[in-house]
A and B are shown apart, each in its own frame.
Chain A
Amino acid sequence: MTATVAKRLLTAIPVLFGLSIIVFLMIALIPGDPATAILGSYATPENVARLNASLGLDQSLPQQYLAWITGVLHGDFGRSYALNRPVIDIVLERFSATLLLAGASLLLATVFGLLAGIVSAVRQFGLADKVITLIVLIGISMPSFWLGLLLILFFAVKIRLFPASGMVAIYGGGGPLDILHHLVLPAVTLALVATGVIARLTRTAMLEVLRQDYIRTARAKGLTERRVVYRHAFKAALVSIIPVIGIQAGFVLGGAVYVETVFQWPGIGAMLVNAISQRDILLVQGGVLVVAAAYVLFNLLADICQTLLDPRLK
């Protein structure tokens, strides 16, 4: 088992290497002079020269990459020109807020997606199945930035149950309960699409598994239907559901951009949007690299879970 996990960990290295190259090339691909693009057309020539030197733009691309990746591996992502702080500090601070939001959403989506999918499959063509299918269809067609507004108008403005924005209350805020209170609306908004996708896939996977011969064997053994569905069928279905949860992690991490903007959640998505508007390229670069690396690691985790669940995949 340790060997399997180690082997999977090794496969992540080339992917991370590839990611770093693409992210590194972001600067090189900027049309025109990157330093001017980053600093804006009103920058003084000294500043442009200094940035060019610090980016090492006078060197060859492989040399530049080497210098850059050495810095990254030591936690040096450069400085944000708009905020005048080290990129790594801002990114880590923001990313922890995003992780909280995305993690909560993925948890909601997994729990409710699996439940809805199983109920839908077990009650195939029944009323519950039809209702769930309809809700799922609406859910996956709903723009999250619109849903967020609807939820704010209803829950924050009309019935005043949850706050409309931020992560903590401005006066006397803080503490886990306050954060949880602020987390509900954005987490639900972000979870909706992923819940729908997971529910759909779970329904299909369960229906597929329930037709298998080994389910007939389980029934022929005299097991209760509950045991057949939740132990025998669900375990087999989970093998094909886990990678989809991994992929949904990517949609949730990316979709956080909208939700963080709508709810003014101090996460990395909202930060990226500002950084892009301000052409703060080094900040964008650092943010993208960290989120993408986290996504790769999460998929790795899903991959390992899948292998542990189904030893035939070794």
Chain B
Amino acid sequence: MTSAAAAAVTAESQPRRERPSTLALLLNNRLAAAGLVVLGLVVGAALAAPILPLADPNATDPAHRLAPLFAPAHLLGTDALGRDILSRLIWGTRVSLAVGVSASLIAAVVGSAIGLVAGYAGGRSDQILMRLIDLLMAFPYILLALAIVAILGPGLINALYAIAIVNVPFFARNIRGITVGLARREFIDAARLSGKGPLRILWSEILPNVLPTIVITLSTTVGWMILETAGLSFLGLGAQPPQADLGSMLGDGRKVMFTAPTISLVPGLMIFLIVISINLIGDGIRDALDPRLRSGALARPSFRTAIAEPLDRPTAPLDAAATLDVKGLRTDFRMGPEIYHACGGVDLTIAPGQCLGLVGESGSGKSVTAMSLMGLVPSPPGIVTGGTIGFRGEDLATAKNERIRTLRGSAIAHVFQDPLATLHPLFCVGDQIVEAIRAHQPLSRSEAEGKAEELLTLVRIPNPAERMRALPHELSGGLRQRVSIAMALANDPELIIADEPTTALDVTVQADILRLLDTLRHDRKLAVLFITHDFGVVSEIADRVAVMYAGKIVETGPTTAVLADPAHPYTRMLIDCVPVMGEPERRLDAVRGRPPAVNQLPAGCSFAARCPRVEPDCSTGEIVLDEKRNGLQARCLHPLEPGETLA
């Protein structure tokens, strides 16, 4: 039945053709394939029981009672009444499978029906049905089955009903959840308007869409149900003699457990094999269907971005006078067979106290570049494949992990984009700042608390003593970002890497935060690497600008020079996107088209496809970043002259 489930699920995911099919994935999963084989053998034997050359499972033979394993004519020996265990095992498996599968089907049909009706009808019917389901779930699992058997009386069929009823809630809940979502979709409205009744809509429109969920729920519960019906029989509440299933065989065998342990161990082993093979297949189906597992996105990011061995290092010496001196930095994302060159050879220099604005569209590689510096790009899939990362002359790319940890948050601090996601939701903000301080300074808790309060005052948070005990979700967006900045300042850093720190904020709050950062950096002689997609923000804070496109820097220079007369057409287009007060006729359309995928970059200029000034020579050979005029460098063969605009 579970292979049928797999087949049904495969049919569902057919349209996405570029992906390997679910069945192929399932078979690739060695454990799931092993489960399929074992289950196939067991089910095959159970189905073939009547035609197999087996002894009569109920024929007693007192002369040969308790025969050991491999006795003549009795491969698995005989039980206390001299009955052949192999034969009883296969016939018992037949009963157990039949009962377990029937219970699953009943639970699936009844539970799904309840879920469909509750989810589609909504309102009061939904309320009542789901409260009843909740009530069933308020009982400990097996206890409810026992209560039902107590009412109906012991017996195999009653045990079947009991297990089915106990499992109804799982189906009802899962199916209701999906149905509620579907019932509000347009195609259901359309069906309703075309005059179809609720029953027909449920049957022909909704049921086909919830079928995969039913199948998945089945594949995860059928093993349990086989186990539990066997359990009731083991307790003497299921199969009654002379009828026998695996559970009652185990229960009977227990009476002679010390003299002939195999009589009880063999049926138990069979139950175990059935359940584990079903669980393996179920896990395989789930893994195959879960796209997050396919892409490996659920992989755990490690302490530090992986560094390629050997690392492709430029030979030029590092500038010890610069706070930051990055040369030829390359960071790749390895996703299956594809390699994305997110950061494709970047040079950056920041002098002490200077602010460099790193600008680009989303996907240009600016964040990856910034996060690569302190090894904060998630790995897997990220890996630094080349470059030197000079910090006051020390190469961080080859530094030891412990050295990186000591520098993180002390000499080099970060401020991230969305402070609601980047502050820990369950610790109060005071504790988070105290933790940052004490990670690097040998202060007592109360001393660190005093310092944290000073920091909150420094970033102009009103009532700092009170706010110390606030949780992030209790603060406004602006206050949260001030907390992040306070945390970054905790250990008097020399460099702050700010990754779109104002993007998630309101425009007015944005201006406040920018002003705060700007004041702090001048007061404290901070070097800042400021990442943004917004040239308006750059003009307010950055001394120098670097523009990134498709993993490379395409233009860099002093902010005023770049803003006034950019040489690269891409920079020009980005600047044209910034709204200016009093110039309503200015075109605000974003740069047309999309950046190229960085796993298949074209030859020559990556921007050529979107560039209005493109010439045939743009698409051949490597184009270098070179000086165009007074400190302005651009990666372009046909740069704009001062004052020139795009047609």
Contacts and interface: CB of A to CB of B under 8 A. Distances in A.
B410 A254 contact: no
B131 to A, nearest CB: 8
Nearest to A217: B422
Interface stretch (B13-21, B145-153, B630-638): B145-153
A30 B151 contact: yes
Chain A residues touching B, majority SS: helix
Contacts of B141: 250-251, 254-255
Contacts of B279: 137, 140-141
B135 interface: yes
Nearest to B375: A219
B142 A254 contact: yes
A82 interface: no
Interface in B116-171: 131, 134-135, 138-143, 146-147, 149-154
B223 A141 contact: yes
Contact of A292 (B140, B231, B264, B374): B140
Interface in B549-600: none
B299 A124 contact: yes
B520 to A, nearest CB: 18
Given A19-B135, A23-B147, A220 B258 contact: no
B408 interface: yes
Contact of B374 (A211, A220, A257, A310): A220
A175 interface: no
Interface in B409-454: 409-410, 413-414, 416, 418, 421-427, 435-436, 439-440
B264 A273 contact: no
Interface in B215-267: 223, 227, 230-231, 234-237, 247, 250-251, 254, 257-258, 261, 264-265
A239 B276 contact: no
Interface in B260-281: 261, 264-265, 268-269, 271-272, 275-276, 279-280
A220 B272 contact: no
Nearest to A23: B147
Contacts of A149: 250, 254, 257, 261, 264-265, 268
A194 B275 CA distance: 16
Contacts of A216: 301, 376, 378, 416, 422
A146 B265 CA distance: 7
A157 interface: yes
Given A284-B150, A292-B140, A309-B426, A221 B487 contact: yes
B300 A121 contact: yes
B303 interface: yes
B376 A219 contact: yes
B69 interface: no
Contacts of A138: 276
B236 A210 contact: no
B313 interface: no
Contact of A258 (B135, B235, B424): B235
B407 interface: yes
B209 to A, nearest CB: 26
Nearest to B436: A221
A284 B147 contact: yes
Contacts of A157: 258
A2 interface: no
Contacts of B131: 18
Contacts of A299: 138
A84 interface: no
Query: Which of A122, A212, A272 counts the most B-chain CB atoms under 10 A from its CB?
Result: A272
A226 to B, nearest CB: 10
Q: How large is the interface on A (under 10, 10 to 19, 20 to 34, 35 or more residues)?
A: 35 or more
A239 to B, nearest CB: 7
A207 interface: yes
Contact of B146 (A19, A208, A222, A257): A257
Contact of A295 (B139, B234, B300, B414): B139
Contacts of B254: 149, 262
Contacts of B628: none
B424 A222 contact: no
A29 interface: yes
Nearest to B371: A216
Given A157-B258, A254-B142, A225 B303 contact: yes
B426 A220 contact: no
B257 A153 contact: yes
B140 A253 contact: yes
A312 interface: yes
A276 interface: yes
Interface string A217-255: 111111111001000100110010000000001110111
A236 B223 CA distance: 32
Contact of B237 (A140, A217, A277): A277
Contacts of B425: 214, 236, 310, 312
Contacts of B146: 254, 257, 272-273, 276, 284, 288
B261 A153 contact: yes
Contacts of B440: 222
Contacts of B473: 312
B250 A145 contact: yes
Contacts of B423: 214, 217
B80 interface: no
A210 B426 contact: no
B426 A239 contact: yes
A22 interface: yes
Contacts of B63: none
A288 B405 CA distance: 56
Nearest to B296: A125
A152 interface: yes
A30 B149 CA distance: 10
Given A222-B409, A222-B410, A277-B236, A213 B143 contact: no
Contacts of A235: 424, 426-427
Contact of A221 (B150, B275, B408, B421): B408
Interface in B55-89: none
B158 to A, nearest CB: 11
A273 B235 CA distance: 7
A149 B255 CA distance: 11
Interface string A1-37: 0000000000000010011001100100111000000
B143 A292 contact: yes
A143 interface: yes
A308 to B, nearest CB: 11
B298 interface: yes
Nearest to A279: B153
Contact of B416 (A125, A217, A224): A217
Query: Which of A122, A137, A228 counts the most B-chain CB atoms under 10 A from its CB?
Result: A137
Contacts of B424: 214, 217-218, 232, 235-236
B140 A295 contact: yes
B614 interface: no
Nearest to B139: A292
Given A142-B272, A149-B265, A254-B143, A273 B236 contact: yes
B362 interface: no
B471 interface: yes
Nearest to A26: B151
Contacts of B151: 26, 29-30
A23 B276 CA distance: 34
A254 B421 CA distance: 40
B301 to A, nearest CB: 6
Given A207-B299, A216-B376, A250-B141, 4 more contacts: A143-B234, A150-B268, A222-B406, A255-B141
18 contacts: A18-B131, A19-B138, A137-B279, A142-B272, A146-B271, A153-B265, A207-B298, A207-B300, A217-B484, A220-B414, A222-B407, A222-B410, A222-B439, A235-B424, A239-B426, A284-B150, A311-B471, A312-B425
Interface of A: 15, 18-19, 22-23, 26, 29-31, 121-122, 124-125, 137-138, 140-143, 145-146, 149-150, 152-153, 157, 206-208, 210-225, 228, 232, 235-236, 239, 249-251, 253-255, 257-258, 261-262, 272-273, 275-277, 279, 281, 284, 288, 291-292, 295-296, 299, 309-312
